[in-house]
Amino acid sequence: MMKYLIKETVQFKEFTQVALHNVKSEEFDIIEVQPLTNDGYCQALIDKIFEISHSEIADFIKHQLLYAKDKLHWINKFEKLVSVNEFLFEKGRNKTRLMKIYTSTEIIRLSLYKPIEIKDEDKPAPRFINAESEERYFSFTKTSKEVDLIDDYCDKILFLTNEKYEYEQANIHFINPKLKDYAEQCEKKISQLQNTRLIKEELKDNQLEKMIYNKLRFYGNVNQLVDIFYQMSRELFVDGKPFLDGNLNDIAKVIVSNFVDKDGNELSLKTVRTILTPSREDKRPNINKRIDIDKLL
C-alpha cells in the first residue's frame, strides 16, 4: 500500500510526465514508465512532493511548469490536488511541508501574473545576506520585498512563518555578524503586520463610536439592560428562532455603540460580553430585579 495514498483527484488537462529516455531530472521529473491515467498522474505528483526536501518544493513546481503549456491552469490544479488531500499532511513536519507548498504555489502563481515585477533577482550583495546554508541563502532584505508583493494578510503571515521555520531547520554555515538574526527579523515583521491589522480594526471601531447620533442613556443597572438583549437572543423564540438573532460579539458591540450608563459613561465591551455569556448567570440581575420581557409581551 502506498504511504501517501490520495483520496481525491482533480482533472488536469495536460500531464507534465516525461518518457524515460527524455528524463532531465530524476529528482523532479514524473517519469512515465507506462501510460498514465489522470488518477495515476495525481498520485505520482503527491508521491514526488513527499520524496523531495522542503527546500526543493518551489524548484519542483517550477520544473513541472517547464512542461506545461497552460502554466496557470496547471498550478491551480496542483494546488487544488494538495488542498483536497490535506489529511496527508497532518503529522509531524508534513504540516510545514504543506505550508511550504501553499507559499511556493502562491509566489510562483503571482510571478505568472506579474513576471516582470517579481522576476527573481540575482543573489543580493553579501552585505544584504543574513546567513547561508548548503541549500540556500537567507536575505531578509529580499524576503521583505517578496512580502510586499503578497496582497493577502494571511498569505504574508504564512510566508514569513515558513521562512522562519526554514531558517531554524537549516544547517547554517555562514552568519553575517553585521545583520540581525534572520528568524528574529521574520518574527518582528509578523508582529508588525499583526499590530498594524489590530490598529486598523481599532480605528474602524472608533469610527463607529463617533457616529453623529447621541447614545441612549439607560437609567437602570447595566446588567439589566444587557439582560434584555440576553433574553431576546437566548430565551425568547418565535417559530423556533430567537427574537434577536446574532452572535454574542455582535450583540455586545451593538449595545456598547448605542448606550451609555445612567451617569453618561461609556459601557465596557468586556463587561457586556461577560454578562451576555450563558455560563455567567452570576453577572445577570436576580429574578426580583430582572426586567422580564416575556411578561411584557
pLDDT tens column, 76-106: 999 999 999 999 998 877 888 999 999 999 9
Q: What value does the mean pLDDT take over residues 157-166?
A: 92
Q: What is the pLDDT of residue 1?
A: 37
- The rounded distance, in Å, linking the Cα atoms of 297 and 294 is 5
Residue 106 domain boundaries: 17-203
Q: Are 128 and 139 in contact (CB under 8 A)?
A: yes
The answer on 229 and 174 residing in a single domain is no
C-alpha cell at 88: 496527508
Report if residue 94 sits inside a domain: yes
DSSP state of 172: E
Banded model confidence at residue 116, pLDDT cuts 50, 70, 90: very low
The answer on 125 and 52 residing in a single domain is yes
**Mean pLDDT, the chain, as a whole number?**
88
The total number of structural domains in the chain stands at 2
- Rounded to a whole number of angstroms, the distance between the first and last alpha carbons of the chain is 66
pLDDT at 204 over 70: yes
Report if residue 57 sits inside a domain: yes
Q: What is the pLDDT of residue 115?
A: 45
Q: What value does the mean pLDDT take over residues 191-211?
A: 82
Q: What is the pLDDT of residue 73?
A: 93
Q: What value does the mean pLDDT take over residues 14-41?
A: 84
C-alpha cell at 143: 524576503
The answer on 178 and 260 residing in a single domain is no
Q: Are 163 and 143 in contact (CB under 8 A)?
A: yes
Q: What is the pLDDT of residue 117?
A: 43
The answer on 193 and 130 residing in a single domain is yes
The answer on 88 and 56 residing in a single domain is yes
Q: Are 73 and 32 in contact (CB under 8 A)?
A: no
Q: What is the pLDDT of residue 132?
A: 93
